[in-house]
């Protein structure tokens, strides 16, 4: 039977929009020594927007957006939604045989031509070369924390699309408070590239950054952290976070935009979609622990 103190802790949590799956999770979160955060949609709002389109010589911004939208219209990725939104007034048609490669990009056939959209290292495998002037522009934008997506057709790079996200307003404060509560290590896990990741990490006060991760890599990092810190929480919102949420001692899903898979795998669900709820959840756990002892 569940102890009354745990029960009241769970009830208090529910009132604040913090749903604990069970009493054990309330006890567990009090012991957390390291917390890993997904970047996109967790530390940032995840409401991505096209910030800039840079075409290769001989192409226009519209060319780049139309080709990208032809494959991204079959994607559920926030990057895809941002690109389709930016291309809404242009004339393009949906590509066929579209295939999304998680954490890498998306490919398809657009009017008999092969289209490839995604991160530099992925698109590089399909094209003769990445134009150096675009690489320089991409580096610069990534240092600002933006995400650069490469667009190619038939072994030719047509250009890049620069995507902007926004760091959540409460992120800096929320992380500072977690450290004050005694969390020793705050970690970022992301599929995004190193430059973008470090820029966001520095802005919000992250101790350790792991970038360019595939979903199963996120799980591995959680395992490694558990060896060093024993009790490790993971905060995420997407399908690509599900394996890591399941592996973590405490998996925390952000409510509003969390995918169903993330919700099912998580131990704690934050309905309010605000980072300070993590601190509130830890406080509930610590209070329950103090009463039990
Ligand atoms: P995150 O961990 O930040 O949520 P993902 O693992 O979903 O990111 O994606 C990692 C990277 O793979 C993206 O930053 C992007 O470069 C590339 N990528 C993934 N899916 C797509 C897509 N549909 N279109 C373009 N690029 C994509
Ligand atoms: Mg995410």
Give the model confidence (pLDDT) of 172-187 as tens digits.
999 999 999 999 999 9
160 shares its domain with 172:
no
Question: 243: Cβ below 6 Å to ligand 1?
Answer: no
Largest Cα separation within the chain, whole Å, is 71
Q: Residue 255: what pLDDT? A: 65
* C-alpha dihedral, 199 to 203 to 204 to 207, nearest 10°: 60
Is residue 30 pLDDT above 70, yes or no? yes
Q: How many domains does the chain have?
A: 2
**In this structure, what CATH number is given to the domain that contains residue 259?**
3.40.50.1000
118 shares its domain with 77:
yes
54 shares its domain with 38:
no
The residue from 164, 198, 216 where one domain ends is 164
What SS3 state is found at 207?
coil
148 shares its domain with 262:
no
Q: Which residue has the higher pLDDT, 240 or 8?
A: 8
| Mean pLDDT taken over the chain | 93
Is residue 260 pLDDT above 60, yes or no? yes
15 shares its domain with 101:
no
The residue from 132, 164, 196 where one domain ends is 164
Could you give the CA distance from residue 141 to residue 114 in angstroms, rounded to a whole number? 27
15 shares its domain with 53:
no
For residue 81, the enclosing domain spans: 49-164
Q: Residue 2: what pLDDT? A: 65
Is residue 256 pLDDT above 60, yes or no? no
DSSP single-letter state for residue 167: B
pLDDT confidence band for 167 (50 / 70 / 90): very high
pTM: 0.88
241 shares its domain with 281:
yes
* 67-88 average pLDDT score: 96
| Interstrand relation of 185-189 and 208-210 (parallel, antiparallel or unpaired) | parallel
180 shares its domain with 159:
no
Select from 37, 119, 199 the residue to mutate for testing ligand 1; criterion: most ligand atoms less than 8 Å from CB: 119
Give the model confidence (pLDDT) of 201-251 as tens digits.
999 999 999 999 988 899 999 999 999 999 999 999 877 888 999 999 999
Ligand 1: atom nearest CA of 41 is: 4
The residue from 146, 164, 182 where one domain ends is 164
Is residue 257 pLDDT above 70, yes or no? no
Q: In the structure encoding, which two tokens stand for residue 54, read together?
A: 């840079």
Q: Residue 142: what pLDDT? A: 96
Q: Which residue has the higher pLDDT, 49 or 263?
A: 49
pLDDT confidence band for 6 (50 / 70 / 90): confident
3-state secondary structure 24-87: HHHHHHCCCCEEEEEHHHHHECCCCEEEEEEECCCCCHHHHHHHHHHHHCCCCCHHHHHHHHHC
Q: Which residue has the higher pLDDT, 57 or 6?
A: 57
Question: 277: Cβ below 6 Å to ligand 1?
Answer: no
Could you give the CA distance from residue 103 to residue 121 in angstroms, rounded to a whole number? 11
**In this structure, what CATH number is given to the domain that contains residue 85?**
3.40.1110.10
Give the model confidence (pLDDT) of 100-151 as tens digits.
998 899 999 999 999 999 999 999 999 999 999 999 999 999 999 999 999 9
177 shares its domain with 268:
yes
243 shares its domain with 174:
yes
Could you give the CA distance from residue 186 to residue 229 in angstroms, rounded to a whole number? 11
160 shares its domain with 204:
no
Q: Which ligand is nearest to the CA of 41?
A: 2
Q: Residue 258: what pLDDT? A: 59
78 shares its domain with 25:
no
Radius of gyration, CA atoms only, the chain: 21
Is residue 5 pLDDT above 90, yes or no? no
Annotated active-site positions, please?
38
């Amino acid at each position: 039977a569940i102890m009354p103190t745990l029960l009241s802790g769970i009830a208090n949590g529910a009132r604040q929009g913090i749903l604990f799956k069970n009493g054990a999770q309330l006890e567990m979160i009090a012991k957390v020594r390291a917390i890993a955060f997904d970047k996109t949609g967790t530390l940032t709002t995840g409401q991505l927007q096209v910030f800039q389109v840079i075409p290769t010589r001989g192409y226009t911004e519209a060319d780049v957006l139309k080709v990208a939208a032809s494959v991204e219209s079959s994607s559920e990725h926030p990057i895809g939604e941002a690109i389709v939104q930016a291309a809404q007034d242009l004339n393009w048609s949906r590509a066929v045989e579209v295939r999304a490669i998680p954490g890498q990009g998306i490919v398809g056939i657009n009017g008999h031509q092969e289209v490839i959209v995604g991160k530099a290292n992925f698109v590089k495998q399909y094209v003769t070369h990445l134009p150096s002037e675009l690489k320089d522009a991409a580096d610069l934008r990534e240092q600002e924390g933006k995400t650069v997506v490469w667009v190619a057709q038939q072994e030719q790079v047509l250009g890049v699309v620069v995507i902007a996200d926004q760091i959540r307003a409460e992120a800096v404060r929320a992380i500072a408070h977690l450290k004050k509560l005694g969390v020793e290590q705050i970690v970022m896990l992301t599929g995004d590239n190193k430059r973008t990741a470090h820029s966001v990490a520095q802005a919000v006060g992250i101790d350790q950054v792991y970038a360019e991760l595939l979903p199963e890599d996120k799980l591995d990092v959680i395992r490694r952290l558990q060896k060093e810190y024993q009790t490790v929480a993971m905060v995420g919102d997407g399908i690509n976070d599900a394996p890591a949420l399941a592996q973590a001692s405490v998996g925390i899903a952000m409510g509003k935009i969390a995918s169903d898979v993330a919700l099912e795998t998580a131990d704690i669900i934050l309905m309010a979609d605000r980072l300070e709820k993590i601190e509130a959840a830890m406080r509930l756990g610590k209070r329950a622990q103090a009463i039990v002892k």
